[in-house]
């Protein structure tokens, strides 16, 4: 027993699922290869720079015989 309009609900939901699939693929492409990829490279560079600064600061502290805070 179908209430009027219920037989098209499956096709209606499939349309929404296909729409969100296309949007997700576009967002993933932009996220992996667009601005987010550039930001990830920048963050990796900053991580290496701060890691070198941390190691240098630790070595200078050992050379000057200053205890860590």
Express each pLDDT in 5-59 by its tens digit: 556 666 778 888 888 889 888 877 777 777 777 777 888 999 999 999 989 888 8
> What is the per-residue pLDDT for 8?
66
d(CA 13, CA 19): 10
Neighbours of 38 (CB within 10 A): 10
d(CA 4, CA 10): 14
Would you list the domain boundaries of the chain?
Answer: 1-33, 34-69
pLDDT at 64 over 80: yes
Neighbours of 40 (CB within 10 A): 12
Selection from 39, 18, 35 nearest residue 27 by Cα: 35
Q: Give the distance between the most distant pair of CA atoms in the chain.
A: 86
Q: What is the mean pLDDT of the chain?
A: 79
Q: Which residue shows structure tokens 């805070």?
A: 69
Predicted TM-score (pTM) of this structure: 0.47
């Amino acid at each position: 027993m179908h209430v009027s309009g219920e037989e098209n609900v499956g096709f209606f939901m499939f349309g929404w699922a296909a729409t969100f699939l296309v949007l997700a693929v576009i967002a993933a492409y932009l996220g992996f290869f667009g601005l987010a990829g550039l930001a990830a490279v920048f963050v990796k560079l900053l991580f290496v720079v701060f890691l070198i600064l941390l190691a240098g600061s630790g070595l200078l502290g050992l050379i000057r015989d200053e205890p860590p805070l």
